[in-house]
Structure 1
Amino acid sequence: MNTLASLHPGALAIVTKVRAEGALMHRLAALGLRAGNQLLVLRQARFRGPIHVRIGTTELFLRRADARHVEVAASHVMQTASAGASRPVPSIASPRA
């Protein structure tokens, strides 16, 4: 059983199951960690610290204790939300005085 906590930076995976209960299950689901969603591990903090993950366009940090509840399967192909469609990137403009 592979968990999110066992992945290395650069790993692409698909969430297969979330083994958590109660508030933790709701929190992980709200963050996008649901079966079928693809994720990319961006980096890991030193000394067994948090894991930086991208799910779709959302980036989040997870404690390793929480990441152990997320089962994953390796993926080699990046899935896109909508093939062929592109969205403009919003820009942040400062207000003029």
Structure 2
Amino acid sequence: MNTLASLHPGTHAIVTQVRAEGALQHRLAALGLRAGNELEVLRQARFRGPIHVRIGTTELFLRRADARQVEIAQVHAHQA
């Protein structure tokens, strides 16, 4: 199982499932983290800090604990 927390900057992926519950589930859905949505990892903070993600035109930072709740598939790295 791949999660958002395991991705590297420049990687694109499709959200397959969000395993969070309650308020966190609603917050992540409101930010665009829903099954079927494509995302790109832009940056990762040092020392296991937050992950900077783009979903459509929205950019957000997620704690790694929250990013581990987002399962992803169809991962491919950006070819520069």
TM, length-normalised to structure 1: 0.76
Q: Cα RMSD (Å) of the superposition?
A: 0.8
Q: Which residue is equivalent to 1:65?
A: 65
Q: Which residue is equivalent to 1:32?
A: 32
Structure ranking higher in strand proportion: 2
Aligned residue pairs: how many?
A: 76
Deviation at 1:74, TM superposition (A): 2.6
1:4 aligns to 2:4 (yes or no): yes
TM, length-normalised to structure 2: 0.92
Structure 2: which 5+ runs fail to align? none
1:20 aligns to 2:20 (yes or no): yes
- CA–CA separation in structure 2 for the residues paired with 1:19 and 1:37: 15
Deviation at 1:75, TM superposition (A): 3.8
Structure 1: which 5+ runs fail to align? 77-97
The list of structure 1 runs, each at least 4 consecutive aligned residues, that deviate by more than 3 angstroms after superposition, is: none
Higher relative contact order (CA 8 A, sep 6+): 2
Deviation at 1:30, TM superposition (A): 0.4
Deviation string, structure 1 residues 20-76 (Cα, Å, up to 9, x no partner)? 100000000000000000000000000000000000000000000000000001344
Identity %: 87
- CA–CA separation in structure 2 for the residues paired with 1:68 and 1:21: 13
Structure with max Cα Rg: 1
